[in-house]
């Protein structure tokens, strides 16, 4: 066969003849494609007819399954031959079954990947040759095995194993690049690998570390915000602890600033005209919280912490897109209607945490009620519920609980006294 045949298994299933894609042609037979995919995954193994029947027609009864299999193979071979003469021979009959045969001038990305993985096993030095092999692996693995296809168990289990093998190879490659301090290549390869596994914690950390090492702190901060938003938006959770902690490393990486009072003043002046509350990442919020805890007793001041939660009126979970839009709107409301001294953070996908200095329980509730009113003005018909809790900041959570209960008791007593006064007969008030 003189044509160059290339079969792609990663990132989807495709057939190329002399770099021309024939996906639409082979898609005429879905079961024929499944047959070819299954045989490729089994490589040189002969798959008996009964097993192929179980795979292709699960839970289906046929009066003559053997004949149905032969008819399917005959028709699909004809389809393959229409793409390239003799291509149908890759489905070879053998000892009561069929197997995949790798023909001349034919390549399969899966076979190339596995061969390269074997060659890279145990490599401890990054030579020009091994670097070339690692680059080839990254080029071959364009996505999970048969991504986008209707996969059965036989494809899913193999896909998970290959993905794990790919990530292991990427980690090993990054480790060798770090030994050589080749940070620009780490950045490039991390971004490439994240296209196939966008939620991998280590890849994000390696990328941010390399960006900091190359003094690209703003890019590292953008990457941090990107991964945080992804976890909130698509998974509904905060990013892993390791990524949250790395935020402090990013902001501390600017310590090389020339210690000149004028230059520092100029740097600080850029942020002098901001208005409203200070919104920060949770790692910074936690540090501010701890600092305030230490200062409360020494300064004799008070500070309250509040939590806001957004839920749907009907109790059903909000869609990620709707929740994301509402939480962004809530952020705008908080920054516009809180003071400069207040601090806020996006604590969870549906919650904001607030630090409110120089307030008491009553004024704190007034602040929260005002925020609640502005929120509903912004989202009048959103069918969502704005709930909040507020309590004093204290190193002793029992103290906080007792103070909340005490304030609540005082409020109840005050209301009760007012009710009694109103209900008294006129002559008793005289």
- The CATH number of the structural domain formed by 1-178 is 1.10.10.10
Residue 298: the pLDDT is 66
pLDDT exceeds cutoff 90 at 136: yes
Residue 403: the pLDDT is 43
pLDDT exceeds cutoff 50 at 193: yes
Instruction: Outline which parts of the chain fall under CATH 1.10.10.10.
Output: 1-178
What number is the average pLDDT over the span 361-389?
Answer: 92
Task: List C-alpha distances in Å: 90 to 87, 226, 406.
Answer: 6, 45, 81
What number is the average pLDDT over the span 370-381?
Answer: 93
Residue 297: the pLDDT is 64
Poorest-confidence range of 31-35, 119-123, 253-257, 425-429?
425-429
At 334-352, the pLDDT tens digits run 999 998 878 999 888 889 9
Which neighbouring-strand residues pair with 98? 47, 93
Q: Which of 121-125, 229-233, 256-260 shows the highest mean pLDDT?
A: 121-125
Which neighbouring-strand residues pair with 396? none
pLDDT exceeds cutoff 80 at 382: yes
Indicate the pLDDT class of residue 106, thresholds 50, 70 and 90: very high
- Widest CA span in the chain: 113
The span from the CA of 142 to the CA of 13, in Å, is: 11
359 or 135, greater pLDDT? 135
Indicate the pLDDT class of residue 428, thresholds 50, 70 and 90: very low
**Non-local CB neighbours of 5 within 8 Å, separated by 6+ positions:** 15, 16, 17, 84, 87, 103, 105, 106, 107
What number is the average pLDDT over the span 161-183?
Answer: 96
What is the percent of the chain with per-residue pLDDT over 70, rounded to a whole number?
A: 83
Question: What's the pTM?
Answer: 0.66
What number is the average pLDDT over the span 164-192?
Answer: 95
Poorest-confidence range of 39-53, 256-270, 383-397?
256-270
Residue 260: the pLDDT is 52
pLDDT exceeds cutoff 90 at 404: no
Q: Are strands 5-8 and 106-108 parallel, antiparallel or unpaired?
A: parallel
- Residue 238 CB-density burial (10 A; 0-12 exposed, 13-18 middle, 19+ buried): middle
Indicate the pLDDT class of residue 265, thresholds 50, 70 and 90: low
Indicate the pLDDT class of residue 262, thresholds 50, 70 and 90: low
- The CATH number of the structural domain formed by 181-254 is 1.25.40.10
- The CATH number of the structural domain formed by 278-395 is 3.30.70.270
Indicate the pLDDT class of residue 247, thresholds 50, 70 and 90: confident
At 302-330, the pLDDT tens digits run 788 999 999 998 888 888 788 888 999 99
Residue 237: the pLDDT is 80
What number is the average pLDDT over the span 397-423?
Answer: 42
């Amino acid at each position: 066969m003189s044509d160059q045949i290339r079969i792609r298994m990663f990132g989807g299933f495709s057939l190329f003849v002399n770099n021309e894609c024939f996906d639409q042609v082979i898609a005429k037979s879905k079961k024929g494609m499944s047959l070819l995919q299954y045989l490729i995954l089994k490589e040189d193994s002969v798959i008996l007819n009964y097993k192929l029947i179980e795979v292709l027609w699960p839970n289906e009864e046929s009066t003559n399954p053997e004949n149905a299999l032969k008819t399917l193979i005959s028709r699909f071979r004809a389809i393959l031959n229409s793409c390239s003469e003799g291509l149908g021979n890759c489905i070879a009959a053998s000892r009561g079954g069929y197997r995949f045969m790798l023909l001349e001038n034919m390549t399969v990305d899966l076979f190339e990947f596995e061969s390269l993985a074997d060659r890279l096993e145990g490599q401890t030095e990054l030579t020009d040759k091994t670097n070339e092999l690692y680059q080839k692996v990254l080029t071959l693995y364009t996505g999970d095995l048969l991504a986008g296809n209707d996969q059965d168990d036989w494809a899913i289990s193999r896909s998970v194993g290959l993905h794990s093998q790919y990530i292991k190879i990427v980690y090993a490659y990054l480790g060798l690049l770090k030994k050589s301090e080749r940070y620009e290549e780490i950045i490039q390869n991390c971004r490439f690998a994240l296209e196939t596994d966008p939620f991998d914690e280590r890849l994000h950390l390696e990328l941010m570390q390399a960006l900091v090492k190359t003094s690209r702190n703003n890019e590292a901060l953008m990457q941090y915000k990107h991964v945080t938003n992804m976890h909130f938006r698509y998974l509904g959770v905060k990013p892993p602890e390791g990524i949250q902690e790395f935020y402090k490393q990013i902001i501390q990486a600017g310590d090389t600033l020339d210690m000149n009072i004028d230059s520092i003043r100029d740097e600080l002046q850029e942020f002098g005209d901001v208005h409203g509350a200070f919104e920060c990442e949770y790692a910074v919020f936690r540090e501010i919280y701890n600092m305030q805890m230490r200062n409360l007793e020494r300064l004799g001041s008070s500070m309250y912490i509040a939590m806001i939660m957004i839920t749907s009126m009907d109790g059903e979970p909000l869609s990620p897109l709707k929740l994301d839009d509402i939480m962004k709107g809530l952020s705008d409301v908080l920054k516009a209607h809180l003071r400069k001294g207040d601090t806020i953070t996006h604590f969870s996908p549906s919650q904001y945490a607030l630090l409110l200095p120089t307030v008491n329980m009553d004024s704190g509730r007034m602040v929260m009620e005002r925020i609640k009113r502005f929120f509903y003005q912004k989202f009048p018909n959103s069918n969502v519920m704005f709930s909040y809790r507020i309590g004093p900041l204290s190193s002793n959570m029992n103290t906080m609980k007792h103070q909340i209960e005490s304030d609540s008791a005082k409020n109840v007593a005050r209301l009760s006294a007012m009710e009694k006064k109103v209900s008294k007969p006129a002559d008793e008030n005289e």
